[in-house]
Chain A
Amino acid sequence: QVQLQESGPGLVKPPGTLSLTCVVSGGSINSDNWWTWVRQPPGMGLEWIGEIYHTGSTSYNPSLKSRVTISVDKSRNRISLNLSSVTAADTAVYYCVRREFRDRGGRGYWGQGTLVTVSS
């Protein structure tokens, strides 16, 4: 049973950088999955941030691309999210998601999420 655990600072000051980690347990990050970040502002809907494959191949949401970096650490079986120049609009619950290849279903399995508040 693959599990995902997000962690990181709960409070970030603008215009700093938000840095989160997602540890993968019960499975290898080298498996045939995409590792995705999705966020959800309080009381609002879901926004796809981007994803990474274990080879390092990435895809980002154009709306965030200039500020986002997603990376993979195979030795620690984890992925990371960095979001720079944050504002209050980046306040959200950030989720790590394991997504299957689309031709195998494309199913997404979510971590519990971590709330990040951007405030001075």
Chain B
Amino acid sequence: DIVMTQSPDSLAVSLGERATINCKSSQSVLYSSNNKNYLAWYQQRPGQPPKLLIYWASARESGVPDRFSGSGSGTDFTLTISSLQAEDVAVYYCQQYYSTPYTFGQGTKLEIK
């Protein structure tokens, strides 16, 4: 299985400041045939199902605010929130869909400082 490790486990950021969450996979999730990284980011607010933010490591889902961005390739990935808003308080998960079982990171809890 591919192990996904997120850092940090929790993060407190002031409103309007940048938040950065990292995700590392135990093996590359870059599919060489199409040069796509099979890596997604999800946001889960309390009591809600996960919501897709980013797919293919850096493609923003339709309707997701542009303050959310994804970057990275191979085994190292980052989710950045450029200017934290109150509604961004949530747990964030990365998931690889390169090989089954499609594993998730342990989650990063983002709070307001």
Interface residues of A (CB under 8 A from B): 36, 45-48, 50, 59-63, 95, 99, 102-103, 105-113
Contact = CB atoms under 8 A, between A and B. Distances in A.
B93 A45 contact: yes
Interface residues of B, number: 26
A112 B106 contact: no
Interface of B: 1, 31, 34, 36, 38, 40, 42, 49-52, 55-56, 59, 61, 93, 95, 97, 100-107
A113 B49 contact: yes
B101 A48 contact: yes
B55 A105 contact: yes
B49 A106 contact: no
Grouping DSSP codes into helix (H, G, I), strand (E, B) and loop, the B interface class, with mixed when no group exceeds half, is: loop
A62 B40 contact: no
B97 A47 contact: no
- A-B residue pairs, 5 tightest by C-beta: A110-B49, A61-B101, A46-B104, A48-B102, A106-B97
Contacts of B104: 45-48
A60 B38 CA distance: 18
B51 A59 contact: no
A15 to B, nearest CB: 24
A12 B106 CA distance: 27
Q: Which of B55, B59, B102 is the most central at the interface, judged by chain A CB atoms within 10 Å of its CB?
A: B102
29 contacts: A36-B102, A45-B93, A45-B104, A45-B105, A45-B106, A47-B104, A48-B95, A59-B100, A61-B100, A61-B101, A62-B101, A63-B101, A95-B50, A99-B97, A102-B31, A102-B36, A102-B97, A103-B36, A105-B55, A106-B38, A106-B40, A106-B55, A106-B56, A108-B50, A108-B95, A110-B49, A110-B50, A111-B49, A112-B49
